[in-house]
């Protein structure tokens, strides 16, 4: 009996073994399922041939499903690698552009890269190290971290990481945490005092190391948040410059990531798997003004795509004659000359793109049909 049925058992599973695998195997899998159902009936009737075929069918189906899963994983991994490569190129391009636009790093500079242990400073160091390898100029990098003696601060994380990536570094230990907690009343924000203490220490370290530039990890979102904080709470139109000279005139501070978006840096940090260290001084405080600004800007970015981009671009397109600061423009002494003035009163002219609807449909402008007119279409009668 076994000799008679062996050839049949060997031939029946061949259909399943030859079934195509991978992304195109869906129909084969469906056929296998139908075959399994039919064979299950025969198995129930006691057919040993059907039982062997059913086992082969189940195994083939499992291989097909596994192949589909592996193919899906491979496709997702390939897509992720593609997106991360695009992101990396964009961030490196933006940092390189900021450095070039504001002449942040020059031949022979020694740049002190301030490391907090957060995503931004990790990304800044990583990108600067990559740019250093292929830059047309020679410059040095030295990473500096201020250990503020916060409770539970993992002192080993940064030294281990900086040693692994091969960058010179210095860990400066100063107990500013106790000072801030002693001076600032409970419930008040610690950012102002903490930043002043940290700034003074870092300036001193930069002098001791002979650094010509101090690189901070602020990004585009930080710059916009600072502008709105100064506007809402300080009555000033003041942002965060990409490059400045310190108050004492001894150091030049640069912000190489001035053009980078925070969400891009967060994604990049996750992809690079940086060992992030949380800040227990300010990161856990609720109701910070900067957090309010962050939420406002993120809400605008989600509801009005392009608005945040335009606001950031506006920081580099300031027209003092159309503001109200008498220190920046001589309003008291201007006189009519009888000649056109470049950049004169064109704040709302149609060539500035501020409301001109010529050539636009009512649906495109959101205005009723009777409002879709241009200044150029108006016919003005001369006065008598």
Assigned domain for 338 exists: no
Assigned domain for 324 exists: no
Q: Are both 62 and 122 inside the same structural domain? A: no
Tokens linked to 209 = 């190391």
Q: Cα(235)–Cα(228) distance, rounded to whole angstroms?
A: 10
**Which DSSP string do the residues of 100-148 spell out, in sequence order?**
HHTT-S-TT-EEEEEE-SSHHHHHHHHHHHHHHHH-SS--EEEEEEEE-
Q: Cα(7)–Cα(50) distance, rounded to whole angstroms?
A: 13
pTM for this predicted structure? 0.71
Q: Are both 157 and 26 inside the same structural domain? A: no
Q: Are both 213 and 128 inside the same structural domain? A: yes
Pairing of strands 110-115, 213-215: parallel
Q: Are both 144 and 280 inside the same structural domain? A: yes
Assigned domain for 360 exists: no
Main-chain phi, psi angles of 61, to 5 degrees:
-65, -40
For each of the chain's 384 residues, which pLDDT tens digit applies? Answer: 444 444 443 343 333 344 444 445 556 556 566 555 655 655 565 556 556 666 776 777 777 777 777 777 888 888 888 999 999 999 999 999 999 999 999 999 999 999 999 999 999 999 999 999 999 999 999 999 988 888 888 889 999 999 999 999 999 998 888 888 787 777 666 677 777 888 889 999 999 999 999 999 999 999 999 999 999 999 999 999 999 999 889 999 999 999 999 999 999 999 999 999 876 555 455 457 888 899 999 999 999 999 999 999 999 999 898 899 999 999 999 888 888 877 666 655 555 555 444 444 444 444 444 444 444 444 555 555
**Which residues have C-beta within 8 Å of that of residue 110, sequence separation ≥ 6?**
139, 140, 142, 209, 210, 211, 212, 213
Residue in 245, 266, 264, 262 with CA at minimum distance from that of residue 254: 245
Q: Are both 90 and 40 inside the same structural domain? A: no
Tally the domains of the chain.
2
Q: Are both 260 and 213 inside the same structural domain? A: yes
The range of the structural domain enclosing residue 28 comes to 2-72
Q: Are both 116 and 14 inside the same structural domain? A: no
- Name the domain boundary from 258, 288, 314: 314
45-84 CB burial, b ≥16 within 10 A, e <16: eeeebbbbbbebbeebbebbeebbeeeeeeeeeeeeeeee
Q: Exposed/middle/buried for 137, CB within 10 Å: 0-12, 13-18, 19+?
A: exposed
């Amino acid at each position: 009996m076994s000799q008679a049925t062996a050839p049949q058992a060997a031939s029946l599973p061949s259909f399943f073994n030859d079934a195509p695998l991978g992304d195109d195997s869906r129909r084969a899998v469906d056929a296998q399922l139908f075959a399994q159902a039919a064979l299950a009936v025969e198995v129930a009737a006691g057919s040993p041939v059907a039982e062997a075929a059913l086992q082969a069918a189940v195994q083939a189906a499992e291989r097909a499903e596994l192949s589909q899963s592996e193919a899906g994983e491979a496709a997702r991994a390939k897509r992720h690698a593609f997106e991360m490569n695009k992101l990396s190129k964009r961030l490196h391009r933006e940092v390189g552009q900021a450095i070039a636009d504001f002449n942040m790093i020059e031949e022979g500079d020694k740049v002190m890269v301030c490391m907090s242990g957060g995503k931004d400073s990790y990304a800044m160091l990583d990108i600067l190290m990559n740019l250093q390898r292929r830059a047309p100029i020679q410059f040095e990098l030295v990473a500096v971290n201020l250990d503020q003696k916060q409770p539970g601060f993992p002192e080993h994380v940064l030294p281990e990481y900086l040693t692994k990536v091969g960058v010179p570094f210095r860990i400066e230990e100063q107990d500013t945490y106790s000072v801030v907690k002693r001076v600032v009343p409970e419930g008040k924000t610690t950012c102002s005092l903490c930043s002043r203490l940290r700034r003074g220490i870092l300036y001193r370290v930069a002098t001791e190391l002979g650094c010509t530039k101090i690189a901070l990890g602020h990004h585009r979102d930080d710059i916009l948040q600072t502008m709105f904080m100064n506007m809402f709470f300080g009555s000033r139109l003041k942002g965060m410059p990409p490059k400045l000279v310190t108050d004492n005139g001894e150091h030049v501070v640069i912000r190489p990531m001035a053009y980078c978006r925070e969400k891009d840096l967060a994604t990049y940090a996750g992809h690079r798997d940086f060992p992030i260290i949380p800040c227990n001084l300010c990161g856990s405080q609720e109701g910070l003004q900067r957090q309010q600004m962050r939420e406002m800007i993120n809400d605008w970015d989600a509801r009005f795509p392009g608005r945040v981009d335009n606001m950031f671009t506006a920081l580099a397109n300031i027209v003092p004659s159309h503001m109200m600061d008498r220190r920046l423009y001589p309003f008291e002494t201007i006189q009519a000359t009888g000649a056109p003035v470049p950049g004169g009163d064109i704040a709302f002219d149609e060539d500035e793109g501020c409301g001109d609807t010529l050539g636009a449909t009512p649906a495109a402008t959101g205005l009723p049909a009777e409002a879709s007119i241009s200044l150029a279409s108006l016919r003005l009668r001369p006065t008598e």
